[in-house]
Structure 1
Amino acid sequence: MRRVVLTLAAVAASAAVASPAFANEARVEARGGVIWGGGDEEATAGIAAGYDFDLGSTAFAGVEVSADKALAGGADIGVGFTGRLGVKASEATKLYVDGGYTITDGEDTPHLGAGVEQMFGKSLYGKVYYRHNFSDFTDTDTVGVGVGVKF
């Protein structure tokens, strides 16, 4: 599974870096947060790579591939495939909603979320996000922060 996650992240990052001429904004990030559900709570850590496309001057749509792990012993790595839609609240701020699927060894779960990205200079950004995973067993919620670079 780790090999699959690393391969997906490398492919997404290299595609984003290698093809800036046909789209608007590639990004890679490191992130962490807290996931809870069913009375349990764990810290999480992960990576993501994505691409946003302008939809006029104030809106955007994007895609993202991610790998996140609850830091509890034995927890599976979840690989996420997500689409997002948002508005540019200012030159440096994006607000968005997202949705997609997270795939783990035990289950494939749909997820929905929302977040805000804030630029810090020309290419560095930070973000805060929320995500809800709809599980057949126990739904979970995640609140996280990320730091990334845009290309």
Structure 2
Amino acid sequence: MKTIEVDEELYRYIASNTRHIGESASDILRRLLHIEQAPLSSEAVNEEAKAEAAPQLGIGVEQMLKGEEFASQESAIDRFMHILSVLYQENPSAFSQANDIKGRKRIYFADDEAALLASGNTTKPKAIAGSPYWVITNTNTGRKRNIIAQLMAAMGYGHGLIERVSQSI
């Protein structure tokens, strides 16, 4: 598996063509470009079976969006932190994708406060409730939305839910 960087417009296009939860970017691009996939190895078949057995994503997030606790959050930071906590609670193993989300000069997530403090000035790290992760909070609302969108996409959430959640910040 290789990693490539794409601009925001291409990322949104790929994400908007997601047909089901957990569909990979490779699968989406293969479908859009009409490229057939090679037969699956036994390891890939096992991974696919695990993915099908995984709980459906989004139920906890949907409940959060409808809940009074989330609605009562007054600041963008509080809503951001609440969303991150719910994402972790819903799928802790997929949340590890957070470690791959970084800015040009800063890391956004870490296992401890010190790593975030070392990554830049005035990062204002906060612990994500119920998780072993910390996140920087000294970013504007647009960046917070982008962080949530990137994380949710990496975790396998659908485009529509990603948009609703990121816009709720």
TM tier, smaller = under 0.3
TM-score (structure 1 length as normaliser): 0.27
Which structure carries more strand by proportion? Answer: 1
The structure with the greater share of residues assigned to helix is 2
Q: Which has the larger radius of gyration?
A: 2
- The answer to which structure, 1 or 2, has the higher relative contact order (CA under 8 A, 6+ apart) is 2
TM-score by length of 2: 0.25
